[in-house]
Amino acid sequence: MLIKIINPNTTWAMTRRIGDCARAVAAAGTEISAVSPSMGPASIESHYDEALSVPGLLEEVERGEGEGADGYVIACFGDPGLDAARELASGPVVGIAEAAMHAASFLGRGFSVVTTLGRTRGRAWDLAAHYGFADRCRGVRACEVPVLELDEPGSGARELITAECRAALVEDQADVIVLGCAGMADLAAEISSVLGVPVIDGVAAATKMAESLVALGLRTSTWGEFAPPPAKQYVGLLSEFAVL
Amino acid sequence: MLIKIINPNTTWAMTRRIGDCARAVAAAGTEISAVSPSMGPASIESHYDEALSVPGLLEEVERGEGEGADGYVIACFGDPGLDAARELASGPVVGIAEAAMHAASFLGRGFSVVTTLGRTRGRAWDLAAHYGFADRCRGVRACEVPVLELDEPGSGARELITAECRAALVEDQADVIVLGCAGMADLAAEISSVLGVPVIDGVAAATKMAESLVALGLRTSTWGEFAPPPAKQYVGLLSEFAVL
Amino acid sequence: MLIKIINPNTTWAMTRRIGDCARAVAAAGTEISAVSPSMGPASIESHYDEALSVPGLLEEVERGEGEGADGYVIACFGDPGLDAARELASGPVVGIAEAAMHAASFLGRGFSVVTTLGRTRGRAWDLAAHYGFADRCRGVRACEVPVLELDEPGSGARELITAECRAALVEDQADVIVLGCAGMADLAAEISSVLGVPVIDGVAAATKMAESLVALGLRTSTWGEFAPPPAKQYVGLLSEFAVL
Amino acid sequence: MLIKIINPNTTWAMTRRIGDCARAVAAAGTEISAVSPSMGPASIESHYDEALSVPGLLEEVERGEGEGADGYVIACFGDPGLDAARELASGPVVGIAEAAMHAASFLGRGFSVVTTLGRTRGRAWDLAAHYGFADRCRGVRACEVPVLELDEPGSGARELITAECRAALVEDQADVIVLGCAGMADLAAEISSVLGVPVIDGVAAATKMAESLVALGLRTSTWGEFAPPPAKQYVGLLSEFAVL
Amino acid sequence: MLIKIINPNTTWAMTRRIGDCARAVAAAGTEISAVSPSMGPASIESHYDEALSVPGLLEEVERGEGEGADGYVIACFGDPGLDAARELASGPVVGIAEAAMHAASFLGRGFSVVTTLGRTRGRAWDLAAHYGFADRCRGVRACEVPVLELDEPGSGARELITAECRAALVEDQADVIVLGCAGMADLAAEISSVLGVPVIDGVAAATKMAESLVALGLRTSTWGEFAPPPAKQYVGLLSEFAVL
Amino acid sequence: MLIKIINPNTTWAMTRRIGDCARAVAAAGTEISAVSPSMGPASIESHYDEALSVPGLLEEVERGEGEGADGYVIACFGDPGLDAARELASGPVVGIAEAAMHAASFLGRGFSVVTTLGRTRGRAWDLAAHYGFADRCRGVRACEVPVLELDEPGSGARELITAECRAALVEDQADVIVLGCAGMADLAAEISSVLGVPVIDGVAAATKMAESLVALGLRTSTWGEFAPPPAKQYVGLLSEFAVL
Asked if C104 and C127 touch (Cβ cutoff 8 Å), the reply is no
Contact between A141 and A132 under an 8 Å Cβ cutoff? The reply is: no
Give residue D235's pLDDT band: very low, low, confident or very high (50, 70, 90): very high
- Which ipTM was obtained for this model? 0.97
Best probe of the B interface among F109, F136, F170, F171, by most B CBs < 10 A, is F109
Mean pLDDT for the stretch of residues A195-210: 98
Residues of A in contact with E121 (CB under 8 A): 173
Q: In terms of Cα–Cα distance, which of F77, F81, F67, F97 is closest to F4? A: F67
Q: How far is F131 from chain B (nearest CA, A)?
A: 18
CA distance B105 to F68: 58
Nearest in space to A197 (alpha carbons), one of A85, A88, A87, A107: A107
CA dihedral E110, E113, E118, E120 (to 10 degrees): -110
**C226 in contact with chain B, both atoms CB, cutoff 8 A:** yes
State whether residue D59 sits within 8 Å of chain E by CB: no
What DSSP character marks residue F183? G
Q: Which residues in chain F touch residue B122, judged by CB atoms under 8 angstroms apart?
A: 109
Chain D residues in contact with C149 by the CB 8 A cut-off are none
What residues of chain A lie within 8 A of the CB of C135, using their CB? Answer: 129, 134
CB contacts of F135 in chain B (<8 Å) are 129, 134
CA of C109 vs chain A CAs: smallest distance (Å): 7
Residues C67, C70, C76, CA angle at the centre, nearest 5°? 90
Whether residues D211 and D164 share a domain: the answer is no
C171 CB within 8 Å of a chain A CB: no
The sign of the dihedral angle between the CA atoms of D22, D23, D28, D30 is: positive
Identify how many contiguous H helices and E strands chain F contains and give both numbers: 8, 10
Mean pLDDT of the D199-218 span: 98
Stated length of chain F: 244
Q: Kindly determine whether residue A52 and residue B54, on different chains, have CB atoms separated by under 8 Å.
A: yes
- For residues A189 and A193, give the distance between their C-alpha atoms in angstroms, rounded to a whole number: 6
pLDDT (average), residues D169-174: 96
Q: Which of D118-127, E105-114, E151-160, F140-149 has the lowest mean pLDDT?
A: E151-160
pLDDT on residue C148: 87
Claim to verify: residue F228 and residue F169 sit in the same structural domain: no
Rounded distance, CA E200 to CA D242, Å?
34
Distance from CA of E1 to the nearest CA of D (A): 12
CB F27 within 8 A of CB F55: no
Note whether A touches D: 3 CB pairs or more under 8 A: no
**What is the CATH number for F170?**
3.40.50.12500
CB contact under 8 A, C54 and D52: yes
Contact with chain C for residue B170, Cβ under 8 A: no
Chain B residue nearest residue C129, CA to CA = B132
Confidence band, pLDDT 50/70/90 cuts, at residue E178 = very high
CA C102, CA C127: separation in Å to the nearest integer? 11
- What is the pLDDT confidence band of residue D4, given thresholds at 50, 70 and 90? very high
**What is residue B155's predicted lDDT score, i.e. its pLDDT?**
82
The rounded distance, in Å, linking the Cα atoms of F120 and F143 is: 11
Looking at the fold, whether E208 and E91 belong to one and the same domain comes out as: yes
D83 touches chain E (CB under 8 A): no
Shared domain for B213 and B224, answered yes or no, is yes
Chain B: touching chains (3 or more CB pairs < 8 Å): A, C, D, F
Pairing status of strand B31-35 against strand B40-41 = unpaired
For residues A38 and A127, state if they share a domain. Answer: no
- Would the pLDDT of F156 be above 90? no
Please indicate, yes or no, whether residues C208 and C91 belong to a single structural domain of this protein: yes
Model confidence at E151, pLDDT cuts 50, 70, 90, reads confident
The predicted structure's pLDDT at residue B147: 84
% of residues, chain F, pLDDT over 70: 100
Domain shared by B144 and B197, yes or no: yes
Spatial CB neighbours of F207, under 8 Å, sequence gap ≥ 6: F3, F5, F21, F22, F25, F26, F32, F73
The reply to whether A224 touches chain B by the CB within 8 Å rule is: yes
d(CA C18, CA C23): 9
Give the chain F residue whose CA is nearest to the CA of A26.
F215
Q: Which phi and psi (to 5°) does residue B215 adopt?
A: -60, -30
Q: How confident is the model at residue A6 (pLDDT cuts 50, 70, 90)?
A: very high
CB contact (8 A) between residue F109 and residue B122 = yes
Chains with ≥3 CB–CB distances under 8 Å to D: B, C, E, F
Q: Which residue of F has its CA nearest to A73?
A: F106
What pLDDT does A186 receive?
86
CA distance C34 to chain E (A): 34
Q: Which of residues 25-54 of A touch B (CB under 8 A)?
A: 37-43, 45-52, 54
Which residues in chain D have Cβ-Cβ distances shorter than 8 Å to B135?
129, 134
DSSP conformational letter for A119:
G
Tally of CB atoms within 10 A around F196: 11
Partners of residue E42 in chain F, C-beta under 8 Å: 232-235
How near does any CA of chain C get to the CA of A225, in Å?
26
Q: Do E122 and A109 touch (CB under 8 A)?
A: yes
Neighbours of B171 (CB within 10 A): 13
Distance from CA of B241 to the nearest CA of A (A): 8
Residues B142 and B188 in one domain: yes
Closest CA of chain D from E86, distance in Å: 9
Distance from CA of E212 to the nearest CA of D (A): 6
Please determine, for residue D3, whether its predicted confidence score (pLDDT) is greater than 90: yes
Closest Cα in chain D to B109: D122
User: Do both B211 and B119 map to the same domain?
Assistant: no
A156-175 confidence digits (pLDDT tens): 889 999 999 999 999 999 99
Residue E109 touches partner C, C-beta closer than 8 Å: yes
How many CA atoms lie within 13 Å of E218's alpha carbon, on the beta-carbon side? 30
Instruction: Give the Cα separation of D210 and D214 in Å (integer).
Output: 6
Give chain B's mean pLDDT. Answer: 96
Burial of residue F95 (CB within 10 Å: 0-12, 13-18, 19+) is buried
| pLDDT for residue E226 | 98
Q: Are F198 and A221 in contact (CB under 8 A)?
A: yes
Residues 6+ apart with CB under 8 A from D45: C229, C230, C232, D116, D117, D119, D120, D146, D147
> Which of A39, A118, A241 is nearest residue B235 as measured by Cβ atoms?
A39
Query: Are F208 and F87 in a shared domain?
Result: yes
d(CA D76, CA D74): 6
Q: Is residue F82 a contact partner of residue F101, using CB atoms and an 8 Å limit?
A: no
Closest chain A residue by Cα to residue C135: A134
- Whether the per-residue pLDDT at F155 is higher than 90: the answer is no
Strand partners, D33: D4
> DSSP letter string over A61-79?
HHHHHHHT-SEEEE-STT-
CA distances from F56 to E55, E137, F74, F227 (A): 12, 34, 12, 21
B-chain residues near A86 (CB < 8 A): 47
- Strand, coil or helix: C229: coil
* Amino acid, single-letter form, for residue D206: A
What's the pLDDT at E43? 97
Per DSSP, helices labelled H in E39-198 are: 47-67, 82-88, 96-105, 121-131, 157-171, 188-195
Q: Amino acid letter at D104?
A: A
**CA-based nearest residue to A133, from A74, A163, A178, A188:** A178
DSSP assignments along E37-80, one per residue: -SSEESS--SHHHHHHHHHHHHHHHHHHHHHT-SEEEE-STT-T
Asked if residue E218 and residue E143 are part of one domain, the reply reads no
CA–CA min distance A109, chain E (Å): 7
Model confidence band, residue F172 (pLDDT cutoffs 50, 70, 90): very high
Mean pLDDT of B159-181: 96
Residue-wise pLDDT tens digits, B53-76: 999 999 999 999 999 999 999 999
pLDDT digits over D100-147, tens only? 999 999 999 999 999 999 999 999 999 999 999 999 999 999 999 888
CB contact under 8 A, F122 and D135: no
Angstrom distances, CA of residue E86 to CA of B101, E90, E130 = 43, 8, 16
Q: Please tell me what DSSP assigns to residue D141.
A: E
The pLDDT of F90-113, averaged and rounded, is: 98
The count of structural domains within chain F is 2
Q: Are residues E236 and E181 both part of a single domain?
A: no
Q: What is the pLDDT of residue C150?
A: 84
Report CB contact under 8 Å: C230, D46.
Answer: yes
Interface test with F, best of D107, D109, D133, D169 (most F CBs within 10 A): D109
**Any chain D CB within 8 A of the CB of C12?**
no
- Considering only CB atoms, E225 lies closest to which of F51, F119, F227, namely F119
Residue type, A201: D
Q: Would you call F109 an interface residue with chain B, using a CB distance cutoff of 8 Å?
A: yes
Query: How do residues F57-79 score in pLDDT, each as one tens digit?
Result: 999 999 999 999 999 999 999 99
Listed as ranges, residues in chain C with pLDDT below 70 are none
Largest CA distance in chain B: 54
Predicted confidence at residue C55, as pLDDT, reads 98
Among C217-221, D32-36, D165-169, E149-153, whose mean pLDDT is lowest?
E149-153
With contact defined as 3+ CB pairs under 8 Å, the chains touching C are A, B, D, E
pLDDT > 90? residue F18: yes
Residue B26 belongs to what domain range? 2-95+204-241
Select from F40, F54, F87 the Cβ nearest to the Cβ of E236. Answer: F40
